[in-house]
């Protein structure tokens, strides 16, 4: 299987993760305007599963080092399989709740609460399990990224033309999503032998196998979570599986592509964790908010005609993001 050999390559993979995790949501914008999120989300989940299979049968099976995918899957212990599966279930619940909080409370509320909480708690949880990197630089970087996320929220709030009261339900959903999002990565990481991808401990899995089982967890749990959401959505009228199957091929393909983009970022991030450590890999991956902001500013023109002073906030946001990500990188060098 393919295994990275240097910290520099691990950082490169983490940056690709940022690009993937910060870009997949664009496919939802590109899908048909009448296409409900709940229906899009099924295609997104299918895309994640498809990429995990392709990755496992190619990068996870070819090469002279490490166990091949099929061999690795056959020797995996029940506890490792369960850990990765639970990671998928937890991620799916978190992602659905996060999306619902955006729909109810808006990005200015959902992002700093959910992603900010997930970033801080996630780095703490993953660092306590595998202490890779300088803790002072690592957590200083996390603090700067958190400041950037708060500034990003302030910029969105400033450009908003509405003055409606912030939804308590939206805040609660964001809090729950943030806590759940901070734990999913730890469950996948604990199913692998992060210290040795070449000859993993018996029962532990390689990243490729772990990602496949994780994706199975997302897919299976979606029959429960998304079915409930389809029948009783947080926002809007109920839809149906009949509406899903009535969607055209292009619309379905767009959602699948979005899932494959996210899945690629997830796979590369876990491959990088062997060299960078789970805390640094996870922290850099959550810098995806920066990429999402770049899309919003330069492609979707979300801050066009925004009130005076908004551009200063946007510039400050980018500055704090760059400084924070730099400290995360140097913490492990």
What pTM, to 2 d.p., does this model score? Answer: 0.93
pLDDT confidence tier of residue 278, bands split at 50, 70 and 90: very high
C-alpha angle 213-282-265 in degrees, rounded to nearest 5: 60
> Would you kindly state where each structural domain of the chain is located, as residue ranges?
7-331
Report how far residue 43's alpha carbon sits from residue 65's, in angstroms, rounded to the nearest whole number: 34
pLDDT for residue 227 is more than 70: yes
Contact between residue 300 and residue 276 where contact means Cβ atoms under 8 Å apart = no
pLDDT confidence tier of residue 33, bands split at 50, 70 and 90: confident
pLDDT at residue 166, as a whole number: 61
Question: 313 or 102, which is more confident?
Answer: 313
What residues contact 148, with CB distance under 8 A and at least 6 apart?
A: 289, 290, 317, 318, 319, 320, 321, 324
Mean of the pLDDT values across residues 141-155? 93
pLDDT confidence tier of residue 161, bands split at 50, 70 and 90: low
Note the pLDDT tens digit of each residue in 164-223. Answer: 566 788 899 999 999 999 999 999 999 999 999 999 999 999 999 999 999 999 999 999
pLDDT confidence tier of residue 283, bands split at 50, 70 and 90: very high
Identify which of 301, 304, 271 has the alpha carbon closest to the alpha carbon of residue 60: 271
The full length of the chain comes to 333
Helix, strand, coil percent content, the chain, rounded in steps of 5 = 75, 0, 25
Backbone Cα Rg of the chain:
19
What residues contact 118, with CB distance under 8 A and at least 6 apart?
A: 94, 177, 178, 179, 181, 182, 286
Mean of the pLDDT values across residues 146-164? 81
Contact between residue 108 and residue 160 where contact means Cβ atoms under 8 Å apart = yes
Rounded percentage of the chain residues whose pLDDT exceeds 90? 75
Mean of the pLDDT values across residues 46-55? 98
């Amino acid at each position: 299987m393919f295994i990275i050999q240097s910290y520099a390559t691990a950082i490169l993979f983490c940056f690709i993760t940022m690009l993937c995790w910060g870009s997949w949501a664009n496919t939802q914008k590109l899908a048909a305007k009448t296409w409900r999120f709940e229906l899009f989300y099924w295609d997104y989940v299918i895309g994640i599963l498809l990429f995990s299979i392709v990755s496992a049968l190619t990068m996870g099976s070819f090469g002279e080092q490490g166990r091949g995918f099929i061999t690795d899957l056959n020797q995996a212990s029940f506890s490792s399989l369960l850990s990765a599966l639970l990671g998928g279930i937890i991620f799916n619940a978190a992602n659905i709740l996060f999306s619902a909080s955006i729909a109810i409370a808006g990005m200015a509320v959902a992002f700093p609460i959910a992603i900010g909480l997930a970033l801080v708690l996630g780095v703490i949880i993953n660092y306590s399990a595998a202490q890779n990197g300088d803790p002072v630089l690592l957590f200083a970087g996390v603090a700067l990224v958190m400041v950037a996320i708060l500034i990003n929220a302030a910029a969105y709030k400033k450009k908003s033309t509405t003055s409606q009261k912030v939804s308590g339900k939206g805040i609660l959903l964001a809090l729950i999503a943030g806590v759940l999002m901070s734990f999913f990565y730890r469950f996948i990481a604990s199913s692998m032998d992060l210290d040795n991808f070449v000859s993993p401990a018996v029962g532990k899995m390689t990243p490729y196998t772990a990602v496949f089982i994780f994706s199975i967890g997302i897919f299976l749990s979606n029959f429960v979570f998304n079915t409930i959401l389809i029948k009783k959505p947080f926002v809007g009228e109920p839809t149906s599986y009949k509406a899903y199957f009535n969607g055209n091929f292009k619309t379905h393909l767009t959602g699948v592509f979005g899932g494959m983009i996210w899945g690629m970022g997830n796979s590369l991030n876990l491959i990088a964790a062997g060299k960078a450590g789970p805390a640094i890999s996870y922290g850099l991956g959550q810098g995806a908010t920066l990429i999402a902001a770049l899309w919003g500013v330069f492609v979707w023109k979300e801050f066009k005609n925004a009130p005076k002073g908004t551009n200063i906030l946007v510039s400050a946001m980018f500055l704090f993001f760059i400084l924070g990500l730099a400290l995360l990188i140097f913490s492990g060098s």
